[in-house]
Amino acid sequence: MVILISDAFDDQLNETLKAFGEVTTDKSRQSEAEIILIRSKTKVTREYIDASPNLRMVIRGGVGLDNVDQVYASEKGIIVKNTAEASTTAVAELAFALMIALPNHIARADLSMKEGKWLKKELKRTELFGKTLGILGLGRIGLGMALRARAFFMNVVGWNPHIQGSEFVELCPTLENMLNRSDYVSIHLPLQESTKGIINKETLKSFKHGAYLINTGRGGCIVEDDVVEALKSGQLAGYATDVWNTDPPENSPLINAPNCIFTPHIGASTKENMGRIGKIVERLIGNYINEMQEKPVS
């Protein structure tokens, strides 16, 4: 059995998986692979699947499966798995780091010092204490963000039409109501039809003037041009994002927009998380092999 590691995983994984079969990182061997490991870089499209006649299982190291054509994979009998629970801490910590960095002007202060400037008077900070954080996407990572925000004595509200209540977050009746109450809004949504462009010209009108937006969900959840307009008008005081329409961004208007902090999709990329993902991958492949061995020969 050929296992293709198509994207970046823990260095150890290559060795560990040798117990299950021949492990390769050589993408030209895609057509031989029975199991392919991906993160966000490899796009498992219809064409990719058609070019992989031996493929039986795709494992996405991470959460979002928007880079996999799940419908076509299912038609072809290909099992698609992710390592959903592994990344929660890593992403929640990055989202929180971005939320602290925005009102404290960490990036601008650092850059100005390196440019020989002394912006002591210009850089006016504000505190998180007592402010309201609105969470869009109250799943694993959204909840992780909520718990961290409560430790900083923030009020935490959220909006999620799929859940009835939450122990740690006050649920708002509508998205508009949540946006209207929040000094900070943090996106923790998957990219799907209902979330695509959910932050746009219209919904930005419901934000408090001067609110901050943090996005570690997906780039496609916001309309970039509309967020840039809101930053220029001051409707948004700042935007921090780890996620983009493409990795890396191509001609994104955000790059030159004011009051932004950017990271290159590193939400899941902690050393600890790579280890956790590796363990889950190992377990998934072990289970797959066991199931194959138990299947009666027809």
Minimum CB separation from ligand NAD for residue 187, in Å? 8
Is residue 36 within 8 A of residue 55, CB to CB? The reply is yes
Positions touching ligand NAD (CB under 6 A) are 62-64, 84, 87-88, 91, 137-142, 160-162, 188-191, 194-195, 216-218, 242-243, 265, 267-268
Instruction: Measure the CA angle with vertex 67, ends 212 and 71; round to 5°.
Output: 125
Distance between CA atoms of residues 95 and 268, nearest Å: 11
Distance between CA atoms of residues 232 and 257, nearest Å: 7
First to last CA, the chain: 20
Q: Token digits for 94?
A: 């990055």
Minimum CB separation from ligand NAD for residue 295, in Å? 30
23 vs 268, which CB is nearer to ligand NAD? Answer: 268
The interaxial angle of helices 271-294 and 88-101, nearest 10 deg, is 150
Minimum CB separation from ligand NAD for residue 285, in Å? 21
Burial of 188 (0-12, 13-18, 19+ CB in 10 A): buried
DSSP output for 157-168: EEE-TT-S--SS
Nearest to 277 by CA among 45, 141, 90, 137: 90
Residue nearest to ligand NAD (CB): 139
60 vs 208, which CB is nearer to ligand NAD? Answer: 60
22 vs 66, which CB is nearer to ligand NAD? Answer: 66
Minimum CB separation from ligand NAD for residue 39, in Å? 9
Minimum CB separation from ligand NAD for residue 86, in Å? 9
157 vs 243, which CB is nearer to ligand NAD? Answer: 243
Minimum CB separation from ligand NAD for residue 215, in Å? 8
194 vs 233, which CB is nearer to ligand NAD? Answer: 194
Could you tell me which residues come within 8 angstroms of residue 221 by beta carbon, excluding any fewer than 6 positions away?
Answer: 136, 187, 189, 191, 195, 196, 197, 198, 199, 215
Could you tell me which residues come within 8 angstroms of residue 173 by beta carbon, excluding any fewer than 6 positions away?
Answer: none
Minimum CB separation from ligand NAD for residue 64, in Å? 4
Distance between CA atoms of residues 46 and 144, nearest Å: 34
84 vs 119, which CB is nearer to ligand NAD? Answer: 84
55 vs 262, which CB is nearer to ligand NAD? Answer: 262
Minimum CB separation from ligand NAD for residue 26, in Å? 26
Kindly report the length of the chain. 298
126 vs 200, which CB is nearer to ligand NAD? Answer: 200
**Stretch (H or E) spanning 132:** strand 132-136
